[in-house]
Amino acid sequence: MFGQVVSDYNITLLPGDGTGNEVVSEAKKVLDAIQDNSNIGFDFTAIECGGLHYKEHGKEWAEGSFEICRDESDAILLGAIGWPGVRRKNGDLAGGEVVLGLRAGLELYANVRPIKLYEGVSHKVHGKFTKVWDSEKVDLLILRENTEGLYYNTLQRSVKRIKGESFREYPVIDFPELGDEVAWDPRPISRKGTERVVRRAFDYATKRDTSLENKKVTCVDKSNVTKGCQLFRSVFDEISQEFPSISTTHAYVDAFAMWMVRNPEDFDVVVSPNLFGDIITDLGSVLQGGMGMAASGNIGDSHGLFEPVHGSSPKYTGMNKVNPIAAINSAQMMLEWIGNTKGDSDATKAAKILSQCVGEHISTDAILTYDLGGSATTSQVGDAIANRVGSTIRELM
Ligand code: IPM
Ligand code: MN
């Protein structure tokens, strides 16, 4: 039986653009099934936001939305942000206040992206479904630094705009040899920013439940070429001393991209600066069946925002076609995070059950969307997983 304490968590839903709405509905269905069959309670607040909202209303979300996320949410679940051709006048992504503004404004410094291949998943390589990778060989956890690096200016612009503060663009200095038109995204990498994400990576390596005999953290950077990465790597080496039982390796990002595809079993936890993490996690999604399977959590010291890694998929919007599992697994990460940060063992238990149910669903149900070789709709997958979760919780708790 679940404990008697009824906990109510305020969950803010940010469905965002396009298919973000469809997948967040399915994730909510699953959370509803948990709530209906346990003592865990959720109070949902949905906030309209994103590029299309900006196009229609001239604002990315209603005034006060950031504050709801900051002050009144136990956790946040985001769908997808961005719509083709919709940008702010200065060229910024319309919807950036939501995704980048929250990352910077709530100091969600670790973007945590599991790359796990479920048993039974066919992935697409060379345009065909295949089973190139063995599921026991693909179980990585990539942490992407989420508040600085090459995104720094844009992150700061987004958060300052939300707060109504002015933003001083860093002037383009000292590139006279490049002519008079230069666009410059500085890439600051700080000791502070690196320490906190690297420490998180070692924490995950310590606690993560894997079949690996040796726990390992890999630092992925480009320290053969750039100063920022040299600092990143040396801070990584310092922090690693605090975790003597975890082994470490280093890889340059270009070689890592190759090795991750060739020998994914060589990696456990991986930590990388912002843009590199963005790129290698899209590539990594191919190892797990595609973007429809890629979940993530943006984690700070006091807030968590969870989102599928995929975008808004305009071409599939409104078709009830896309895979909701990335969003459902993001909700799973949310529940696990709630369990850990609030010390709620019921939430932890429910998160475990949800993860187990997704695995069972994939290997037994054959109710899968097109990207996994099936023909089920988004909502059929959501219904099937929600039913399975509901009945499993009733049975096991
Ligand atoms: C991601 C996305 C975002 C990013 C976009 C939507 C700003 O690609 O979460 O990976 O680049 O970080
Ligand atoms: Mn991305």
pLDDT tier, 132 (very low <50, low <70, confident <90, very high otherwise): confident
Q: Look at residue 86 and give its three-state secondary structure.
A: coil
Atom of ligand 1 nearest to the CA of 80: 6
* CA-closest residue to ligand 1 atom 6: 81
CA of 281 to the centre of ligand 2 (A): 7
pLDDT at 126 > cutoff 90: no
CA of 279 to the centre of ligand 2 (A): 6
Q: Which of 358, 345, 352 has its CA nearest to residue 386? A: 358
CA of 254 to the centre of ligand 1 (A): 20
Pocket-forming residues, ligand 1, beta carbon under 6 Å: 81-82, 93, 99-100, 278, 309
Nearest-ligand number for the alpha carbon of 82 = 1
pLDDT tier, 3 (very low <50, low <70, confident <90, very high otherwise): very low
pLDDT at 4 > cutoff 60: no
90 backbone dihedrals φ, ψ, rounded to 5°: -80, 5
Atom of ligand 1 nearest to the CA of 82: 6
pLDDT at 29 > cutoff 80: yes
Residues 6+ away with beta carbon under 8 Å from 262 = none
Please write the tens of the pLDDT for every residue from 345-374.
999 999 999 999 999 999 997 899 999 999
Average pLDDT taken over every residue of the chain: 95
pLDDT at 172 > cutoff 70: no
Residues 6+ away with beta carbon under 8 Å from 309 = 113, 281, 282, 285, 291, 294, 295, 296, 326
CA of 318 to the centre of ligand 1 (A): 22
Q: What is the pLDDT of residue 6?
A: 62
pLDDT at 333 > cutoff 60: yes
Probe residue for ligand 1, chosen from 99, 111, 313 as the CB with the greatest number of ligand atoms within 8 Å = 99
DSSP secondary structure string, 109-135? -EEEEEEE--TT--EEETTEEE--S-G
pLDDT at 5 > cutoff 70: no
Question: What percent of the chain clears pLDDT 70, i.e. is strictly above it?
Answer: 98
Please write the tens of the pLDDT for every residue from 74-124.
999 999 999 999 999 999 999 999 999 999 999 999 999 999 999 999 888
CA of 293 to the centre of ligand 2 (A): 14
Distance CA 22, CA 382 (A): 10
Residues 157-180 have a mean pLDDT of 86
Q: Which range is least confidently modeled, 64-78, 129-143, 214-228, 297-311?
A: 129-143
pLDDT tier, 2 (very low <50, low <70, confident <90, very high otherwise): very low
Ion ligand 2, residue ranges at CB < 5 A: 278
Q: Which of 349, 344, 336, 345 has its CA nearest to residue 304? A: 336
* CA-closest residue to ligand 1 atom 12: 278
Residues 139-166 have a mean pLDDT of 96
Partner residues linked to 252 by β-bridges: 221
Residues 298-321 have a mean pLDDT of 98
pLDDT at 1 > cutoff 50: no
* CA-closest residue to ligand 1 atom 1: 309
DSSP character for 136? G
**Is 55 exposed, middle or buried (CB count within 10 Å of its CB: 0-12, 13-18, 19+)?**
middle
- The residue with greater pLDDT, 128 or 380, is 380
DSSP secondary structure string, 147-180? SSGGGHHHHHHHHHHHHT----PPP--S-GGG-S
